[in-house]
Amino acid sequence: MHRWLAGVPAGDPLGRLPGPPRSSPVLLMVLTRSATDILLSFAPVPDAARAARHALARRGLSADVDHTVSLLTSEVMGNAVRHAGALHPGEKIVFHARISDDHVRVEVADRGPGFDPEIRHDASGFGLRLIDKLASRWGVETTARGCRVWFEVDRRRGRFDRSPGA
């Protein structure tokens, strides 16, 4: 089985991660393998999306992906907070981001039931349509343990280069 979160026990990728007291929405921050990976665990509270965006900003997203990745992170984190279902004490929403030279990948996992990504065509909101239009690739994976939504945004070098001759 593919383990998508480095540093999380194989038997429990979505829950019971150690961290500070429950009053804090950020329960765990681990930098894995290199400075390009971010792994966080959140209580299902509205501030989780903001905290995830701030973690990305602290890692130094480049201008060519910052706005898009931040917007899409808000969408997937907000959806996880709204749709994760009733979480048991100690279960959290898990956020993983990998910032590489050619793209940024964000994954958000929760214990919720998941959904069919085709609903984006009929959904009343615009969030899934934004993800569909702005992400280079995205998907939804549902298992007995919950749902994982991921997206990737390719870096477009020089997109904001306004120097003469560019």
Q: Is the pTM of this model over 0.75?
A: no
Whether 70 and 58 have beta carbons less than 8 Å apart is answered as: no
State the pLDDT at residue 126.
Answer: 73
Q: Where in the chain are the domains?
A: 31-154
DSSP 8-state class, residue 126 = S
- Written as tens digits, the pLDDT of the chain (166 aa) is 233 333 333 444 444 333 334 444 444 444 444 448 999 999 888 899 999 999 999 988 888 899 999 999 999 999 888 877 667 777 899 999 999 888 899 999 998 777 766 665 566 667 788 898 999 999 999 888 888 999 999 987 444 444 455 4
State the pLDDT at residue 124.
Answer: 65
- CATH ID of 31-154, from 3.90.420.10, 3.30.565.10, 1.10.10.10, 3.40.50.150: 3.30.565.10
Round to whole Å and give the CA distance between 144 and 5. Answer: 17
Residue (of 118, 109, 119) closest to 141 by Cα position: 109
Backbone angles phi, psi at 138, to 5 degrees: -160, 165
Give residue 24's Cα distance to chain centre: 18
State the pLDDT at residue 119.
Answer: 64
Round to whole Å and give the CA distance between 3 and 95. Answer: 14
Long-range contacts of 47-52 (CB under 8 A, 24+ apart): 48/77, 48/80, 48/81, 48/93, 48/95, 49/73, 49/74, 49/77, 49/78, 49/81, 51/25, 51/26, 52/77, 52/95, 52/97
